[in-house]
Amino acid sequence: MTAFASSVEQPKDMAALVLSGGGSRGAYQVGVLSAIADLLPNDSLNPFPIICGTSAGAINALALAGGALHFREAILRLTDVWGDFSCDQVFRTEWHQLLKSAFTFGASQFFGLNRDEPVSLLDNSPLRDLLAERINYNGIAAAIARRRLHAVSITAFGYESGHAVSFYQGRGTIDPWMRHRRVGIPTRLNVDHLMASSAIPLLFRPVKIHREFFGDGAVRQQAPISPALHLGASRVLVIGVSSNLARQQAEETRPRGEPPSLAQIVGHMLNSTFVDSLEGDIELLDKINRMALLVPHSGTRESRGFKPVDVLVISPSKPIDVIAARHRRELPASLRFFLRGSGATRSTGGSALSYLLFEQGFCRELIELGYQDAMAQQDKLMEFLGLVCKI
């Protein structure tokens, strides 16, 4: 987890932005980024030489990396997209399409039909069109060439290898890495990598890259902060999409003695995938940082490489599950019908629903929450960004 010196000398101080996964919860990250844009001077350059993301966080990461030459404008574009979101921009919600997807999925899983083609419960082809249109993939190379960006990484899960693969694009001095179940591969990023990283298991189709099918990177990402450290980060800003408060609130609102609904079970599984690994990684990094301070620096390469990494974490101060439950009626009628039996459209099904609720009201409330949470940590953010507060 600590940063180790690579074979080529890197800049001594590089800030990294780490954006976790979480489906429609990714709107929260945009609110935090909007606050950062307001804190920075108007003529500021991209403050994050390293940007890493997974799942929905990967989408936000590549949007920022592609617009790194105009950082503030990139955040404004992200805010516009998330603020006007609707489910039909992410997956098809027509009655006939949902029925077709459900039938195809059932025929494949229960009767073995069309097993040569990947299937899913939802058709997310609209998301591919959106990502192909709105993200400037050529802008990544331009930003790297002009030294406004050191590297960008997005993580996907390889179904055959079982590895969390971080596909990264950056300066040629960055060495690939291989750890237990974690691999870093240099490449030129495109829409396929994004679709793979955000392909939530069963809900969205896995994506074939080269010879392997990939799905949502959060599935086996045991160390979400690790890619940033491998790319050379000395300090990390992590924008999460969950909080202990949200989990406590979900437990308090659940009726005691009643069996959990399918939506509650799925919600806990999604939380385990998208939330627990990041929280555990932050806790582990904190322990390693404390240990690093106790290690004497003898001047050897080993002692120089073992160094603490400053980490600032911003995560929701209010339970996203409860917010999603309030907005559940914003879902298209067709989707509400299909989710009703699972319990996702009840007040207790907010956890699972919060990952699929790509609707304007919910996303805008998360954007506002992210903005307020970031401003509540204004002093820490300004210190992290190297800004001096003028009174």
Active site residues: 55, 216
Cα separation, 125 vs 199, whole angstroms: 11
Strands 212-216 and 151-158: antiparallel
The number of beta carbons lying within 10 Å of the beta carbon of residue 380 is 14
For Cα atoms 79, 84, 90, give the angle at the middle one, nearest 5 degrees: 100
Task: Provide φ and ψ at 215, rounded to 5°.
Answer: -130, -165
Quote the tokens at residue 346: 């009840």
**Structural contact between residues 63 and 79, judged by C-beta atoms closer than 8 angstroms:** no
Cα separation, 331 vs 157, whole angstroms: 29
- Per-residue DSSP letter, 232: T
Tell me the H-state helices in 174-319: 191-197, 226-230, 244-253, 262-271, 277-294, 301-305
Cα dist from 328 to 93, 112, 355, 358, whole Å: 15, 34, 12, 11
**Structural contact between residues 29 and 370, judged by C-beta atoms closer than 8 angstroms:** yes
Bridge partners of residue 312, in order along the sequence: 237
Residue labelled with tokens 């507060």: 389
Quote the tokens at residue 129: 């069109």
**Structural contact between residues 25 and 354, judged by C-beta atoms closer than 8 angstroms:** yes
Q: For residue 90, give the 3-state DSSP assignment.
A: coil
What's the first-to-final CA gap in the chain, in angstroms? 38
**Structural contact between residues 89 and 126, judged by C-beta atoms closer than 8 angstroms:** yes
